[in-house]
A and B are shown apart, each in its own frame.
Chain A
Amino acid sequence: MARIKFEAVGKKYPNGFAALENLNLDIADKEFLVLLGPSGCGKSTTLNMIAGLEDVTDGNLMFDDAVMNTVPSHKRDVAMVFQSYALYPHKSVYENIAFGLRMRKYPKDEIDRRVRDAARRLEIEPLLERRPDQLSGGQRQRVALGRAMVRQPQVFLMDEPLSNLDAALRISMRAEIKQLHQAMQTTFVYVTHDQAEALTLADRIVVMRGGVVQQIGVPDEIYERPRNMFVASFLGNPPINFIEGKLVDLGSGMAVERGGLRVALPPEAALKVQGQSGRDVVLGLRAEDVVEDPSPVADATLSGRVAAVLPVGSDQFLEMEVEGSKLFLRLGKECRYREGDNASLTINANRLHLFDKQSTQSLLWA
């Protein structure tokens, strides 16, 4: 059980490529932390550093109070689950799970107890004598989990463990991993590029990109208060809509204007951009933040042609053309728009996001 601390950690390569830049991160004991980002964003490097597979070259990495920068992984107490499961093809399931313990010279009976225990919890007892190539993907994933579990490590690392599973299995495994975390009472660091996984599993999410941390926070915060356009766009499905425009001073307050479209900002937001009229901004509007309102509110109405309607069981999505840009919006079943209709919808202004066009930084939450 450990607290992991990154102090200004970085990793640069001679060709100028920075796998990681000035990472400051404090992972609490027993926390479930998810590193989220597109491929090459540095999340795996970060994970390998914790695993001891890659040295920390700038800054410090600490487990509790011990500096671990260059301690090789076999001298650390970490366990890891891989995307490809990485089971030892020449060992039986039992031996695969037991291997880590054998290497650490646990007594025979202790090893046996733990292995069977893990097998029971993961419901793979009947498979113990099989070889990996005789298992299905899901079963292999469980074995991989078991191999990590039995070690009861200080830190439990997962590198996109679910990406090789089919959608259905992925959903159910999420739940299991969550339970596993509860049960094991240890620190989890989980790497993924799947925002849904991140949102469901994480205590805290670290959004990364090009080796730079974009935002750290609890799932809601990341979703509700994205620091920049990248974070805003990386989370949310369907993805957030961006509308470019200019700030205008209405006297009564601030608004964003684009052609015929004008969206007034709520007072507290308006304050943040007071007197900056003329500035190029990008308005962020999540699909779910509109309502169908027969009595249009001034300066909060989207009107345009419905390009497409997609019912999805619970509710339906509209694709709507407003001032030359396509928006994806979610509406309740009750609304009856057809393709080609002209619709006008009311924005829930309190949930708007506003970004500076140049810096792509949020103008509302710093």
Chain B
Amino acid sequence: MTWCPEAADPAASGPVRKTLEMQDIKRPQRRWFVRPSSAYDQRSAMLFLAPMMLVLSVVAVFPVLYSFWISLHDLKLTRPHRVPFVWFDNYVKLFTDPLFWESVGRTASFTVMSVLAIMVIATLMSLLLNENFRGRRVLSAILLIPWAIPYVANGLMWKWIYDSGYGALNGLLMQMGLIDKYVVMLGDTAKTMPLITNAFVWKEVPLATILLLVTLKSIRADLYSAAKVDGANVLQRFVHITLPQLVPGFALVMIYESMMAIRHFDLFFILTEGGPADASHVVAWQVYVETFRKLAFGTGSALAYIMAVATFVLAYFVIRSTSRKL
């Protein structure tokens, strides 16, 4: 039967009808109308956006451009009166400086390590919080603590835990009989980065967990019941349903956290000041040293600029993955 008597929908049958339908389909995607619906809307939109445009131009866009301009000068605050324009010398200096490349390497490995750790821990935690059991709410409240505390506090907390002379970590390892005398912690170049990474991960895990948790919640329960019916066991269900569904969450966490890690400064300042022997000398720290220890604002901005560009490249993916929805 190509039609049913009670059909209310007129566009239902006949070859002619089909072609009519075809022609009626073509219309632009709603979100991308370039034409204002009304002059009044255009006016109000402009008015509503004006503050943001102003603020962001002044506090974000202009500074970035300006810092590029600075990066083309040899600006040293120890001799404020002579500021020659040096084209790209600062960049050349950096790119030919082995220390810079070491820092880049360190930043990269720090980023990869942290993001991996964060992903694993956050996944486990979000799976746990996605279960329904007594005390769940307490846990999710606890979870927020690391997220809320200042990095400075986080830093001093770990600095004290890691203390080679009296630190809790040494104490713990000793009481567990893993070491027979206190060992050097942050001072041991082999341990420095892992320890800093741990402090960073501990603070970043909560947000990642929340993001993943929300993604989990969006998985429709019937998917699982369906899988159950098909006799899939826990593991299979996790691998075939949960993981794939988590992918967008993972992407988000990965991008966000790597951006955080690349630019991270506070912990390096509080825990090691880039030391010992440059063991924790990352790009962000180098920016600080160049800028405020050596007062070489030119090189400092050049560095910062390289960083900004790097982050932008990363951010390109953020925009790609989000603007569609905005």
* Residues of chain A having any CB pair with chain B under 8 Å: 13-15, 17, 38-41, 48, 52-55, 70, 72, 167, 193-196, 209-210, 229-230, 233-239, 242, 308, 310, 312, 317, 319, 326, 328
* Contact call A40/B24, Cβ cutoff below 8 A: yes
* Contact call A210/B24, Cβ cutoff below 8 A: yes
Q: Give chain B residues whose Cβ lies under 8 Å from the Cβ of A319.
A: 1
Q: Give chain B residues whose Cβ lies under 8 Å from the Cβ of A40.
A: 24-27
Nearest CB on A from B243, distance (A): 35
* Contact call A328/B3, Cβ cutoff below 8 A: yes
Contact of A237 among B10, B20, B38, B40 (CB under 8 A): B10
Q: Give chain A residues whose Cβ lies under 8 Å from the Cβ of B24.
A: 38-41, 209-210
Question: Interface segment, B28-36, B136-144, B284-292?
Answer: B28-36
Residue pairs across A and B with Cβ atoms less than 8 A apart, 18 shown, are A13-B28, A15-B34, A17-B27, A38-B20, A38-B21, A39-B24, A40-B24, A52-B38, A55-B36, A55-B37, A55-B38, A70-B38, A193-B9, A194-B10, A234-B10, A234-B11, A237-B8, A242-B14
Known A41-B24, A210-B23; judge A239-B38 contact (CB<8 A): no
Nearest CB on B from A295, distance (A): 30
Q: Give chain B residues whose Cβ lies under 8 Å from the Cβ of A230.
A: 20
Interface residues of B, dominant DSSP: loop
A48 to B37, CA, bound (A): 9
* Contact call A233/B20, Cβ cutoff below 8 A: yes
Interface residues of B in 1-25 (CB under 8 A from A): 1-3, 5-14, 16-17, 20-21, 23-25
* Contact call B20/A196, Cβ cutoff below 8 A: no
A75 to B2, CA, bound (A): 49
* Contact call B12/A17, Cβ cutoff below 8 A: no
**CB closest residue in chain B, given A325:** B15
A83 to B2, CA, bound (A): 28
Contact of B8 among A13, A167, A209 (CB under 8 A): A167
* Contact call B37/A53, Cβ cutoff below 8 A: yes
Interface assignment of B326: CB less than 8 Å from any CB of chain A: no
A230 to B26, CA, bound (A): 17
* Contact call A238/B5, Cβ cutoff below 8 A: yes
* Contact call A239/B13, Cβ cutoff below 8 A: yes
Q: Give chain B residues whose Cβ lies under 8 Å from the Cβ of A237.
A: 5, 7-8, 10
* Contact call B28/A312, Cβ cutoff below 8 A: no
* Contact call A13/B33, Cβ cutoff below 8 A: yes
* Contact call A239/B35, Cβ cutoff below 8 A: no
Contact of A72 among B3, B8, B40 (CB under 8 A): B40
A90 to B6, CA, bound (A): 38
* Contact call A310/B10, Cβ cutoff below 8 A: no
Number of interface residues of B (CB under 8 A): 31
* Contact call B34/A14, Cβ cutoff below 8 A: yes
* Contact call B10/A235, Cβ cutoff below 8 A: yes
14 additional contacts (CB under 8 A) given A38-B24, A193-B9, A209-B23: A13-B35, A40-B25, A70-B38, A70-B39, A72-B40, A194-B9, A209-B20, A210-B23, A233-B14, A233-B16, A235-B10, A236-B10, A237-B5, A317-B5
Q: Give chain A residues whose Cβ lies under 8 Å from the Cβ of B36.
A: 55
A308 to B4, CA, bound (A): 12
Q: Give chain B residues whose Cβ lies under 8 Å from the Cβ of A14.
A: 34-35
Nearest CB on A from B35, distance (A): 5
Nearest CB on B from A177, distance (A): 16
**CB closest residue in chain B, given A37:** B24
Q: Give chain A residues whose Cβ lies under 8 Å from the Cβ of B1.
A: 308, 310, 319
**CB closest residue in chain A, given B14:** A239
Q: Give chain A residues whose Cβ lies under 8 Å from the Cβ of B13.
A: 238-239
A40 to B17, CA, bound (A): 15
Nearest CB on B from A230, distance (A): 6
Residue from A53, A70, A194, A239 having most chain B Cβ neighbours under 10 A: A239
Q: Give chain B residues whose Cβ lies under 8 Å from the Cβ of A17.
A: 26-28
**CB closest residue in chain A, given B23:** A210
Q: Give chain B residues whose Cβ lies under 8 Å from the Cβ of A167.
A: 6, 8
**CB closest residue in chain A, given B7:** A237
**CB closest residue in chain B, given A360:** B16
Nearest CB on A from B70, distance (A): 41
Contact of B16 among A54, A70, A229, A310 (CB under 8 A): A229
Q: Give chain A residues whose Cβ lies under 8 Å from the Cβ of B38.
A: 52-55, 70, 72
Known A54-B37, A209-B24, A210-B23; judge A233-B5 contact (CB<8 A): no
Q: Which 7 pairs show the lowest CB-CB distances between chains A and B?
A: A72-B40, A55-B38, A38-B24, A54-B37, A40-B27, A195-B10, A312-B5
Q: 1/0 per position for B107-138, CB-CB distance to A under 8 A?
A: 00000000000000000000000000000000
A17 to B33, CA, bound (A): 11
Known A40-B25, A41-B24, A312-B5; judge A55-B39 contact (CB<8 A): yes
Q: Give chain B residues whose Cβ lies under 8 Å from the Cβ of A194.
A: 8-10
Q: Give chain A residues whose Cβ lies under 8 Å from the Cβ of B27.
A: 17, 40
Q: Give chain B residues whose Cβ lies under 8 Å from the Cβ of A317.
A: 5
Q: Give chain B residues whose Cβ lies under 8 Å from the Cβ of A210.
A: 23-24
Q: Give chain A residues whose Cβ lies under 8 Å from the Cβ of B26.
A: 17, 40
Nearest CB on A from B198, distance (A): 45
